[in-house]
Amino acid sequence: MVQYLLNGFGHLIQTGSILALFIGVFLGIIIGALPGLTATMGIALLIPFTYGMDPSYALSLMVGIFAGGIYGGSISAILLKTPGTPAAGATVLDGYPLAQKGQAGKAVAVSTIASALGGLIGALILTFLAPQIAKIAVLFGPPEYVLLGIYGLSMISYVAGKSMAKGIFMGLLGILISTIGIDPISGFPRFTFGQLNLLNGLSLLPVLIGLFAAAQAFEGIEKYNEPQAQQAKINRIGISGKEFLRILPHIIKSAFIGTFVGAVPGTGTDIAAFLSYGEAKRSSKNGAEFGTGVIEGVAAPESGNNACVNGAMIPMFTLGIPGEAATAVMLGGLMLLGLQPGPLLFKDNPQVIYTVFASTITSNLLILVLGLLGARFFAKVLQLPTKLITTMIFVLAIIGSYAMRNNAFDVGVTIIAGFLGYILTKADYPVPPLLLGLILGPLVESNLGRTVIISEGNYFIFFTRPLCWLFWVLILYTVISNITKSKRASRQLDQTKR
């Protein structure tokens, strides 16, 4: 396997994918740093232009944008008190107070080092764990995939936001939409209303671009007359050796938390960051000072969220199940590149997959270099007028959805999905579950069809296979823990209201 990984590094340099990775990280940091632009949006906007590229090149770009974007969010969290991405929400808590004390440079340095180290640990776990999981996943048959898909869908309650019912509604709506087009087993066209454009279903990419890019831009229009936030000044960038030793244990612990959270389907970088922050606050000697500007409070969430980036790729590559929203979008990109995610990817395309692993490891080095040397430049980028950025997102969204198939229908889908996504999000109907349903729906249905064929119509097969039982336990655990969790949350809400 080390041999494969070394080949991956060789391939990364040979094909020039390392350049793509550099561009990806660079763009990712900018996208992440700009409030309102997320890594997910960056990848969604990028995918149409990767069409026809060499897969390792395209994937290196995506990995770069994802990792860079999650790191970049911390820059605006520290300097503007606005997280550039939801993943940097926890970084604001101590990052901004540090900046107010005139230590913005130190905060940026801590965030950069923590992101790079946390990401590196996550990338190493990904590299060495994913092939092992793939080996187990080869044993999965159609019934296991049905349950795996249902397990992924049961995580909707985690990403659902305020109302679980609304999250489940959106997830089911996504599955229902995914049944438009040719039925995977019998080949009969369903719900197409004679529209040729719908024969292969509502294409994923225009919907994605609409939901994750155009919807955000509508938000930008709504807030066009809000003044741009004042920026804290960056002084000397760097930390002392003593400070590094202080944050190191938190970085390592958060990296493991983040990777684990990422590997669980459905949970995302923001949850990883807040969990890491909470754990650091609980276990730290100066826990009471958290929130007033301590460096541990920046290091922990930043290590956690960048580790989560890599953790989220574990289920994506090995099982074809997205770990969170950005990987769900990446999954769409993988399929467009003609790569079917899943255990067979490791057998059929080891070169591509190990090049990606080499990319994830290298991306952290690039974050370190770009972050420490380029922080002042990225701070300048934050002063770009948001009105111009909003306009550019619209233009990129439109030409992106057009470029895929030179098709005006797709452009219409993007615009309408964007507007609906914007309205629904405002009313607490979360959009990520819809995406989860769109991606997992076909997986569940086609494997259900295969299960019925191999079992000759006997549904009892779901209870006779030992691996199936593993998933039943996982699903049951998820559902029960979510119900109790939401009950506790609503009780707390009632108490705060009184």
Partner 1 sequence: MVVSFKVKWLDLFLGILSIVLLVVVFVLSASFPEPHEAQLGAAVFPRIIALVLAVVGVYILVRAMGKKSNAAVDINNAQKVLLTFFILLLYGLFLKKVGFVILTPVFIAALLFLMRFSNVVTNLLTSILTTAGIYLIFKVLLSVPLPEGILGF
Residue 205 Cβ vs partner 1, minimum distance, rounded to whole Å: 14
Please tell me whether residue 460 binds partner 1 under the rule CB under 8 A.
Answer: no
Q: Looking at 170-178, 314-322, 338-346, 363-371, which segment touches partner 1 (CB under 8 A)?
A: 170-178
Coil vs helix vs strand at 343: coil
Asked if 456 interacts with partner 1 (CB under 8 A), we say yes
Q: Tell me if residue 172 falls in helix, strand or coil.
A: helix
- Stretch of residues binding partner 1 (CB under 8 A), selected from 12-20, 181-189, 278-286, 293-301: 181-189
DSSP 178-216: HTSEE-TTT--EES-TT-GGGTT-S-HHHHHHIIIIIHH
380 or 426: CB nearest partner 1? 426
Q: Which stretch binds partner 1 (CB under 8 A): 72-80, 127-135, 367-375, 381-389?
A: 381-389
Residue 138, interface with partner 1 (CB under 8 A)? no
Phi-psi region of 104 (alpha: psi -120 to 50; beta: other; left: phi over 0): alpha
Q: Which residues from 401-420 bind partner 1, rule CB under 8 A?
A: 402-403, 406, 408, 411-412, 414-415, 418-419
Q: Residue 163, class by beta-carbon neighbours within 10 Å (0-12 exposed, 13-18 middle, 19+ buried)? A: middle
Angstrom distance (rounded) from CA 356 to CA 170? 32
Contact 1, 131 (CB under 8 A): yes
CA–CA dist 84, 72 (Å, integer) = 7
Number of residues binding to partner 1, judged by CB under 8 A: 60
The counts of H helices and E strands in the chain are 22, 2
Should residue 427 be labelled a site residue for partner 1 when binding is judged by CB under 8 A?
yes
Stretch that binds partner 1, among 61-69, 169-177, 298-306, 350-358 (CB under 8 A): 169-177
By CB under 8 A, tell whether 225 contacts partner 1.
Answer: yes
Cβ nearer to partner 1, comparing 457 with 466: 457
Closer residue to partner 1 (CB): 38 or 414: 414
Give the H or E element holding residue 274: helix 269-283
Q: Which stretch binds partner 1 (CB under 8 A): 96-104, 121-129, 382-390, 476-484?
A: 382-390
Q: Which of 14, 135, 191, 348 binds partner 1 (CB under 8 A)?
A: 191
Phi, psi of 444 (to 5 degrees): -65, -45
Chain centre to alpha carbon of residue 371 = 21
Instruction: Give dist(CA 434, CA 210) in Å, integer.
Output: 12
**Region from 22-30, 33-41, 166-174, 292-300 binding partner 1, contact rule CB under 8 A:** 166-174
Answer yes or no whether residue 391 interacts with partner 1 by CB under 8 A: yes
Comparing CB distances to partner 1, the nearer of 278 and 405 is 405
Residue of the chain from 138, 165, 288, 493 that contacts partner 1 (CB under 8 A): 165
494 binds partner 1 (CB under 8 A): no
Stretch that binds partner 1, among 383-391, 463-471, 472-480, 484-492 (CB under 8 A): 383-391
Dihedral of CA atoms 493, 495, 496, 497 in degrees, nearest 10, equals 90
Q: Give a three-class secondary structure readout of 18-87.
A: HHHHHHHHHHHHHHHHCCCCCHHHHHHHHHHHHCCCCHHHHHHHHHHHHHHHHHHHHHHHHHHCCCCCHH
Is residue 221 a contact point for partner 1 (CB under 8 A)? Answer: yes
CA 429 to chain centre: 19
Q: Phi, psi at residue 182, to the nearest 5°?
A: -70, 130
Q: What distance in Å separates the CA atoms of residue 118 and residue 299, rounded to the nearest whole number?
A: 9
Tell me if 399 contacts partner 1 by CB under 8 A. Answer: yes
Nearer to partner 1, 84 or 181 (CB): 181
Considering the rule CB under 8 A, would residue 496 count as an interface residue with partner 1? Answer: no
**Smallest gap, in angstroms, from Cβ of residue 337 to partner 1?**
16
Q: Interface with partner 1 includes 392 (CB under 8 A)?
A: yes
Residue 85's region, left for phi above 0, alpha for psi from -120 to 50, else beta, is: beta
Q: Find the shortest distance in angstroms from Cβ 262 to partner 1.
A: 28
Smallest separation (angstroms) from partner 1 to the CB of 68: 19
The C-alpha atoms of residue 30 and residue 469 are separated, in whole angstroms, by 45
Using rule CB under 8 A, residue 175 touches partner 1 = yes
- Report d(CA 472, CA 470) in Å as an integer: 6
Which among 24-32, 35-43, 218-226, 352-360 is the span making contact with partner 1, rule CB under 8 A?
218-226
Which one of residues 190, 347, 485, 491 is an interface residue with partner 1 (CB under 8 A)?
190
**Residues lying near partner 1 in the complex (CB under 8 A):** 48-49, 165-166, 168-169, 172-173, 175-176, 179, 183, 185-186, 188, 190-191, 214, 218, 221-225, 385, 387-388, 390-392, 394-396, 398-399, 402-403, 406, 408, 411-412, 414-415, 418-419, 422-423, 426-429, 441, 444-445, 448-449, 452-453, 456-457
